[in-house]
Amino acid sequence: MVELIGGSPHSGWWRILLVIAFAATFFLHVFCHSGDDPGYNFLHKASIAPPISYYDYIVIGGGTAGCPLAATLSKNADVLVLERGGSPYGNPNITLFSSFGAAISDLSPTSPSQRFISEDGVVNARARVLGGGSCLNAGFYSRAGPVYVQDAGWDGQLVKESYQWVEEVVAFRPEMGGWQSAVRDGLVEAGVVPYNGFTYEHIQGTKVGGTLFDKEGKRHTAADLLKYANPSRIRVLLHATVHKILFRRKGLTRPRAHGVIFRDELGNVHRAYLNRGAKNEIILASGALGSPQLLMLSGVGPAPHLKAHNIEVVLDQPMVGRGMSDNPMNAVYIPSPIPVEVALIQVAGITPFGSYIEAACGENFAAGAPIRADFGMFSPKIGRLSTLPPKKRTPEALAKAAELMSKLDARVFQGGFILEKVTGPLSNGHLELRTRNPNDNPTVTFNYFSNPQDLTRCVQGIQTIEKVINSRAFSKYKYKGMTFQTLLNLTAQAPVNLLPHHPNVSTSFEQFCKDTVMTIWHYHGGCQVGRVVDSDYKVMGIDALRVVDGSTFLASPGTNPQATVMMLGRYMGVKILRERLAHREHQ
């Protein structure tokens, strides 16, 4: 049975609030969002594609990296983008700040999010929509630090220009409410100094970062970067699921990618090939799950594993699918005695010991919508879900809990989360095919905290959160007499993952880290630089094939990755075009 902590029954006030909220949502929807769709004339359903077509570049995945990459390439070449999902435009679950979480709890086959559960037992999400993860995410926008850029061997000036190119369209300065400001000041009191004000830069100390949400609460995504595209040289196909990359091998010393097979929304098969030309290429940008999965489905991966799935081996590459990491995230839920603004991540505490502190607050689901009892979400309603043993966390039991909560007064849900994310991380795992269907999730294992240093960083992060909560600046948002121990006990009871909880889950910080681990969705790896692709993002051992997305990362950049994923799309687009022009001049 599900127990709920405190709360008062249905009140008239609640109903009035619902009506107001509903009216407000309707107003926003009708008056502020009709003009959102940029009306790209190059965006089509995949079924309009001929059975066979030819391009200079074929980009697989119109996600966070794929959109800026394709927009850039179209300046000087004919580009095809194949995206398995639909358009983000006109879907309020994506465009409205107030509906954060709606898309990731939508489990329908047409959802812009595809749920996966890692073998570790942590519920996670991957994008299935034009714009990719930038359509689902919490919007926090923050660059990578100079050390990261240097280690990656990137050209610093082009990196800077590429970030600016992205920021021009998608990044905004957030409006800070009381709760986020209290976390910011509490971080400074806790010694996460200096205070660096509002900045996109990754610098030690406390800062306010950027956001994809504009002043009206409208989300801007990587799909908006297609505004930069040359409409006469780009075609973007939606609901185009790539099943296989095709290679030419006859008479060549190494395999050369030359085409793809994809299916449209009706299930019909199409082929797209590269035009003749030494510089034409296929570029995988299908994300940390999609890119290694598609390489394997195309015959590039560990030979024994491919053979076990009856896949013809094009190149035995044992490193495909290796180095999968997901930065562990642990959060502490703090109920508040006073009202709290609704905000996703705005503040970041960048500590010297490799733990990043961020926070989310308020009831962020569109008022009046049914409560979605889901895992690992930034909702106080999740904080309010009480003891349900992991095995009993069935959808029915969660729905029941949600129903009980819907009868409570809104005040019960005042509060927020302060979370910490472990940098890197150092722990990693692997990805394997489950089936030969590209629509199915592969199996992924992240091995959270298998490296003890990740655990140390988590514990230090939780200790910092304790200091923030006990700071003078934060005191008004905490019930008097509610100790940190009580908050940990409360948080440990929320159904945030499928892991068993040990009896010492809330009395040992180590155990708290392990048992209440969640994802902050910054998973990466699978086609890492130096292991699967070279420093130019070319797949080693194969011609005319690159990977440009989060699967290439050795570690997650900055506090949060999306700024750098978009930057990399632009950066590599510029690099690839420069190579193309240099080649032409030599001819």
Ligand X SMILES: *[C@@H]1O[C@H](CO)[C@@H](O)[C@H](O)[C@H]1NC(C)=O
414 is in an annotated binding site: no
Answer yes or no whether residue 471 interacts with ligand FAD by CB under 6 A: no
Give which of ligand FAD, ligand X, none residue 348 binds (C-beta under 5 to 8 Å, depending on kind): none
Answer yes or no whether residue 359 interacts with ligand FAD by CB under 6 A: no
In eight-state DSSP terms, residue 368 is T
Which two three-digit tokens encode residue 414?
A: 């005042």
Instruction: Identify residues 554-573 at the interface with ligand FAD (CB under 6 A).
Output: 560-562, 565
Answer yes or no whether residue 447 interacts with ligand X by CB under 6 A: no
Give which of ligand X, ligand FAD, none residue 285 binds (C-beta under 5 to 8 Å, depending on kind): ligand FAD
Answer yes or no whether residue 127 interacts with ligand FAD by CB under 6 A: yes
Q: Cβ distance 539 to 254 under 8 Å?
A: no
Report DSSP letters for 208-250, one per residue: E-EESB-TTSBB--GGGGGGGS-TTSEEEEES-EEEEEEEE-T
Total chain residues near ligand X (CB under 6 A): 18
Answer yes or no whether residue 99 interacts with ligand FAD by CB under 6 A: no
Give catalytic residues, as residue numbers. Answer: 522
Contacts of 455-458 spanning 24+ positions with Cβ under 8 A: 455/510, 455/513, 455/514, 456/353, 457/353, 457/354, 457/355, 457/422, 457/423, 458/328, 458/330, 458/355, 458/420, 458/422, 458/509, 458/513
Answer yes or no whether residue 463 interacts with ligand X by CB under 6 A: no
Give which of ligand FAD, ligand X, none residue 25 binds (C-beta under 5 to 8 Å, depending on kind): none
Residues 510, 540, 541, 543: which binds ligand X (CB under 6 A)?
510
Q: Is 286 helix (H, G, I), strand (E, B) or coil?
A: coil
CA distance 132 to 30: 25
CA distance 386 to 496: 11
313 is in an annotated binding site: no
Answer yes or no whether residue 125 interacts with ligand FAD by CB under 6 A: yes
Look up residue 447 and give its amino acid: N
Report DSSP letters for 26-66, one per residue: HHHHHHHSTT-----TTEEEGGGS-SEEEESEEEE--STTH
- The contact mask relative to ligand X for 357-396 (x = CB under 6 A, - = no) is ---------------x------------------------
CB nearer to ligand FAD: pick between 386 and 443: 443
Q: Which residues lie closer than 8 Å to 309 by C-beta, 6 or more apart?
A: 296, 433, 435, 436
Stretch that binds ligand X, among 171-179, 409-417, 428-436, 479-487 (CB under 6 A): 479-487
Residues 25, 64, 87, 91: which binds ligand X (CB under 6 A)?
91
- Picking from 360, 392, 346, the residue whose alpha carbon sits closest to that of residue 518 is 360
- Please name the residue that has the structure tokens 């100790």: 483
CA distance 424 to 68: 25
Answer yes or no whether residue 83 interacts with ligand FAD by CB under 6 A: yes
129 is in an annotated binding site: yes
Q: Which residues lie closer than 8 Å to 149 by C-beta, 6 or more apart?
A: 156, 159
Give which of ligand FAD, ligand X, none residue 580 binds (C-beta under 5 to 8 Å, depending on kind): none
Answer yes or no whether residue 470 interacts with ligand X by CB under 6 A: no
Q: Which residues lie closer than 8 Å to 123 by C-beta, 6 or more apart?
A: 115, 117, 374, 375, 376, 497, 498, 519
Residues 128, 184, 258, 411: which binds ligand FAD (CB under 6 A)?
128
At 430, give phi and psi (nearest 5°): -150, 165
CB nearer to ligand X: pick between 294 and 401: 401
Q: Which residues lie closer than 8 Å to 426 by C-beta, 6 or more apart?
A: 451, 453, 454
Answer yes or no whether residue 132 interacts with ligand FAD by CB under 6 A: yes
Residues 2, 28, 58, 82: which binds ligand FAD (CB under 6 A)?
82
Look up residue 441 and give its amino acid: N
Of the chain, the end-to-end C-alpha distance in Å amounts to 75
Answer yes or no whether residue 406 interacts with ligand X by CB under 6 A: no
At 111, give phi and psi (nearest 5°): -65, 145
Answer yes or no whether residue 287 interacts with ligand FAD by CB under 6 A: yes
Report the DSSP beta bridge partners of residue 443: 432
Stretch that binds ligand X, among 1-9, 73-81, 192-200, 505-513 (CB under 6 A): 505-513
- The contact mask relative to ligand FAD for 137-176 (x = CB under 6 A, - = no) is xxxx------------------------------------
Stretch that binds ligand FAD, among 58-66, 91-99, 381-389, 393-401 (CB under 6 A): 58-66
Instruction: Identify residues 230-269 at the interface with ligand FAD (CB under 6 A).
Output: 241-242
Which two three-digit tokens encode residue 48?
A: 């309009």
Q: How far is the CB of 223 from ligand FAD (least distance, A)?
A: 9
302 is in an annotated binding site: no
562 is in an annotated binding site: yes
Feature table: binding site for FAD = 129, 242, 521-522, 550, 561-562
| Residues at the site binding ligand FAD, with contacts judged by CB under 6 A | 60-66, 82-85, 104, 125-129, 132-134, 136-140, 241-242, 285-288, 290, 294, 345, 438, 521-522, 549-550, 560-562, 565
| Residues at the site binding ligand X, with contacts judged by CB under 6 A | 91, 93, 102, 105-106, 372, 483, 485-486, 489, 502-504, 506-508, 510-511
Feature table: binding site = 129, 242, 521-522, 550, 561-562
